[in-house]
Amino acid sequence: MTDQQTLRAFLRQCVVSLFMGETSLGTGFFVAPGYILTCAHVVRQAYESGRTLLAYSSMGTSLGEARIERYEYSVVHNQLLPHDPQASEIYPDLALLRIALTTHPCVYLDTRAIMEKDELSSCGFNEKRFAGGDEVAFVAEGKSWLDERRYLLKLREGQAQHGLSGAPLLHTRNGTVCGVMQQTRGSQSDVGGRAIPTRAVLEALPELVALQQLAHQEDSRWLNCLDPRQRHELVRATGAFTGQRPVRIVDLCSDNKKDLRLRQDLLTHLSILRRKREMVLWYERDIALGRKTNVELRKQVEEADIILLLLSPDFFASDIIDELVQIAMRRYDPPCVNVVPILMRPVEDWRTQSFGGLQQLPLDRSFLSIGQTEVKLTEVARAIRLLVEQVWQAMTA
């Protein structure tokens, strides 16, 4: 089997068929452990009805239930024909699903430019009689511009049937995924279709940048399918294969509005650090405390290199936070695993807790909510940045 055949076979392993009950909706594909990407219009019926999605592998194996975590669906009208319903497009038309499966292979998303006449291919579930998926080849024709900035990839010489929506678009020469199939230009002919470019995907779902990096640093199966030339060009273009994973950070904060505002202020002061995605993976706080999905929070705490405890009266009132703190303290082992209390709002007797002997921030033991908040936030951000650098150096030593 050639490298190209190996890669296309591996792509099929990353693709899933999405159902709502017994109704086939279309295609999706794994972009990180536990994350499936598809088009928003593919899962729109489930999103609006609140019904559960089911995912199946290309082998027909049930992968379990998937829930919609991000849904980016908006209509862009042609400004020259604002009242014509046919003169509009859905953009960015993306949905990110979560599924309780973290060992599945993932595609490699790539934002490198696509040239006219580049060879492309895809694999999805566009015909009910092909339960294992259906492969299709395309040629890049150009771009379909929605306005001066946004566009779709325009494809020809391939039959894009409706069920292919949400499937990955593979760039043959690069060996990476360059887009998400969105629409057909004629499902019964080979005039092609259109796809959402990967650059638009990462702009709409920026959390995928760090998730992708971490996924491929810990799982090299996709990268191992590339030939030497593809690997060399990927390294040169994107800096892949550095062998160094980012420092993982998670913060534990209550749902109190005052605490969430202070947390957001802290993240703002840390914006420059958080943009260094090759160095830092900051777990987004997208899981509400008190729900069954706290299994994801536990996983984050069990994986993190730095765990920030955002202390307040409401912090100590949460049972799930108490459980997560116990996990954090069991893992506490500097410089590899660090736990840092951050004094958000006044609370008594926090020093009596299991983490009471740890170095707190701000260093003067004052609370962020009292006095010169901006000055204190700057101090805390500086201390966290220095800690990240220490952990990074320890990881590379």
pLDDT at 181 over 60: yes
In a domain, 137, yes or no: yes
Secondary structure class of 293 (helix, strand, coil): coil
Q: Give the C-alpha separation, 216 to 231, whole Å.
A: 13
pLDDT at 156 over 80: yes
CA distances from 33 to 148, 194, 226, 282 (A): 35, 27, 20, 16
CATH code of the domain covering residue 118: 2.40.10.120
Q: Give the C-alpha separation, 324 to 309, whole Å.
A: 10
pLDDT at 203 over 80: yes
pLDDT score for 97: 97
- Pair (166, 302) in one structural domain: no
Q: Give the C-alpha separation, 341 to 263, whole Å.
A: 13
Q: In which band, very low, low, confident or very high, does the pLDDT at 45 lie, cut at 50, 70 and 90?
A: very high
**Domain span including residue 302:** 247-396
- Pair (203, 254) in one structural domain: no
In a domain, 60, yes or no: yes
Task: Please write the tens of the pLDDT for every residue from 345-390.
Answer: 999 889 999 999 999 999 999 999 988 899 999 999 999 999 998 8
- Pair (167, 286) in one structural domain: no
In a domain, 198, yes or no: yes
End-to-end CA distance of the chain: 39
Instruction: Give the predicted TM-score (pTM) of the model.
Output: 0.64
Task: Please write the tens of the pLDDT for every residue from 4-32.
Answer: 788 989 999 999 999 999 888 999 999 99
- Pair (286, 388) in one structural domain: yes
Give bridge partners of residue 18 from the DSSP assignment: 26, 55
In a domain, 87, yes or no: yes
In a domain, 230, yes or no: no
In a domain, 238, yes or no: no
Contacts of 189 (CB under 8 A, 6+ apart): 159
In a domain, 229, yes or no: no
- Pair (196, 251) in one structural domain: no
Domain end among 184, 207, 230: 207
Question: For the chain, how many structural domains are there in total?
Answer: 2
More confident residue, 85 or 272: 272
- Pair (200, 269) in one structural domain: no
By C-alpha distance, which of 245, 250, 176, 177 is closest to 214? 245
Are 252 and 321 spatial neighbours (Cβ–Cβ below 8 Å)? yes
- Pair (255, 108) in one structural domain: no
Q: Give the C-alpha separation, 340 to 352, whole Å.
A: 15
pLDDT, the chain, mean: 86
Helix (H) or strand (E) holding 45: helix 44-49
Lowest mean pLDDT among 41-45, 160-164, 240-244, 309-313: 240-244
CATH code of the domain covering residue 324: 3.40.50.10140
- Pair (192, 262) in one structural domain: no
- Pair (280, 179) in one structural domain: no
In a domain, 228, yes or no: no
